[in-house]
Amino acid sequence: MKNSNPRIAIVRLSALGDIVNTALILQIIRRYYPDAVIDWFVEEAFAPILAGHPLLNETVAVPIKRIKKNKDFTLLTQTLTNLKNRPPYDQIIDAQGLLKSAVVASLLPGRVHGFDRRSAREGIAAWFYDTTSHIPYDENVIRRNIKVVTDALNIPYSEALIKDKNPVFPTGSRPPLLPENTKAVACVIGASWPSKCYPKERFAEVCAKLDVPCYLIWGSEPEHQDALWIAQHVPNAAIAPRMSLKELVNFIAHCDLLIGNDTGPTHMAWAMNRPSITLFGPTNERMIYPTDKNIALKSSSPVNILKIDRNDFSIRQIDPQEIVTKAKELL
């Protein structure tokens, strides 16, 4: 890109884990374009995790779910007008590859880059782009996120861009709940689908075999009830309080290890350079960037990423002792 201080729009609307796994692009862009203006367009429910980020100029909340839920034509019209009236961008990048993200990107003034028809999650999205990248859909998701951005901005891609990252989000002081001079494990016990959830009985077994405090992270009332059950059966398990997205990032950043299902809070550990064990059943290791301290444990079931089987409960097959052994190595 010829302009040394380009205006760049990132469109990644959802979901939480995908936003977490995409946010690394901010430090990469800043390395090559330190004076760039970078705005991120995101579904309003997830905007708080990006709001005020030191590498972003603006986080723009797009109320797609609220428009659909309430069938609010006035809000729809207002949103369309606001998108069209943004100042022009030198480069708009749809890092999601869905029809909804492509429409948002195409409403913004400027040239749009995204995945080509064969590698976008929804091939029709490619019709809205001026330029495209071919990055196979079965590629590691973090590599896909980085490559579509580096292609758009003419940044040389290398694995070092990922391996040498700084923590992706800013942090604050150590949460009072976490004791000083004691290792702590965060356990993310929920996920978006029941089949992605490791059973509470097995999570309890894992916690019981670890000689450190285990903090149970939950987001919904059913998850809270599971956390209560585990805490009642395991003396070293404690229920973490309900936290905002920024509080959750900070909490995980101060833990020594995270064990969790394939879901947004689990991916925060990798983003913050903290050790993690991610448990997979109906999904697979493509969803994380494995390192010496960020590992995956997968059930034996095969996974077709183009047609995920939400009735695959094979995550139950993962042996708690295998998790405990890996956890003790990482601790």
The 3-state DSSP class for residue 213 equals coil
Q: How much is the pLDDT for 3?
A: 80
pLDDT (mean) for 16-44: 98
Closest among 38, 61, 37, 34 to 49, alpha carbons compared: 61
Mean pLDDT of the chain: 97
pLDDT (mean) for 64-93: 97
pLDDT band at 232 (very low <50, low <70, confident <90, very high): very high
pLDDT (mean) for 29-52: 98
pLDDT digits (tens, 9 = 90+) for 191-209: 999 999 999 999 999 999 9
Q: How much is the pLDDT for 179?
A: 87
pLDDT (mean) for 78-98: 98
The percentage of the chain sitting over the pLDDT mark of 90, rounded to a whole number, equals 97
Question: How is 133-181 classified by DSSP, letter by letter?
Answer: E---TTS-HHHHHHHHHHHHHTPPP-THHHHTPPPSS---SPPTTSPTT
pLDDT digits (tens, 9 = 90+) for 289-308: 999 999 999 999 999 998 99
Q: How much is the pLDDT for 4?
A: 78
The domain 7-163 is placed in CATH, from the list 3.30.70.890, 3.40.50.2000, 3.30.450.20, 1.10.3720.10, at 3.40.50.2000
pLDDT digits (tens, 9 = 90+) for 91-147: 999 999 999 999 999 999 999 999 999 999 999 999 999 999 999 999 999 999 999
pLDDT band at 42 (very low <50, low <70, confident <90, very high): very high
Residue in the structure block whose two tokens are 């809270």: 224
Closest among 224, 323, 264, 249 to 49, alpha carbons compared: 249
Q: How much is the pLDDT for 39?
A: 98
CA Rg value for the chain: 20
Give the global pTM. 0.96
pLDDT band at 222 (very low <50, low <70, confident <90, very high): very high
- The CA distance from 305 to 82, in Å, is 35
pLDDT for 2 beyond 80: no
pLDDT band at 251 (very low <50, low <70, confident <90, very high): very high
Domain 7-163 and domain 185-330 have a common topology:
yes
pLDDT digits (tens, 9 = 90+) for 262-271: 999 999 999 9
Domain spanning 185-330, CATH architecture = 3-Layer(aba) Sandwich (3.40)
pLDDT (mean) for 172-187: 94
Closest among 291, 297, 277, 215 to 252, alpha carbons compared: 215
- The CA distance from 19 to 95, in Å, is 10
| Region for 110 from its dihedrals, namely left if φ exceeds 0, alpha if ψ lies in -120 to 50, beta otherwise | left
Domain locations in the chain? 7-163, 185-330
pLDDT for 1 beyond 80: no
Pull the structure tokens for residue 2.
Answer: 């010829």
